[in-house]
């Protein structure tokens, strides 16, 4: 029973990490779109930096688990 509980917990964290990667790609795309459409380089930089931070954290957590 403890093996099943551990499996469910690790599966839940894997889903969180995949959702984090999807959100990171979304933020990166929004940053590029903001820059291309004239939203300004500061707004685009905030979105890109946020997306990269989420992507790095998701990948690090995926490797560590």
pLDDT, tens digit, 9 for 90 and up, residues 7-27: 666 787 888 889 999 999 999
Task: Please determine, for residue 1, whether its predicted confidence score (pLDDT) is greater than 60.
Answer: no
The pLDDT score that the predictor gives to residue 9 is 64
Mean pLDDT to the nearest integer, 21-49:
91
The pLDDT score that the predictor gives to residue 22 is 93
Using CA atoms, how far residue 9 sits from 5, 18, 54, in Å, is 6, 14, 21
Predicted TM-score (pTM) above 0.85: no
The pLDDT score that the predictor gives to residue 52 is 92
Domain extents for the chain?
Answer: 2-64
């Amino acid at each position: 029973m403890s093996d099943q509980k551990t499996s469910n917990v690790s599966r839940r964290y894997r889903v969180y990490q995949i959702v984090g990667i999807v959100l990171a790609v979304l933020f990166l795309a929004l940053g590029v779109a903001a820059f291309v459409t004239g939203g300004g380089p500061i707004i685009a930089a905030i979105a890109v930096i946020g997306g990269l931070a989420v992507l790095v954290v998701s990948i690090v957590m995926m490797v560590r688990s």
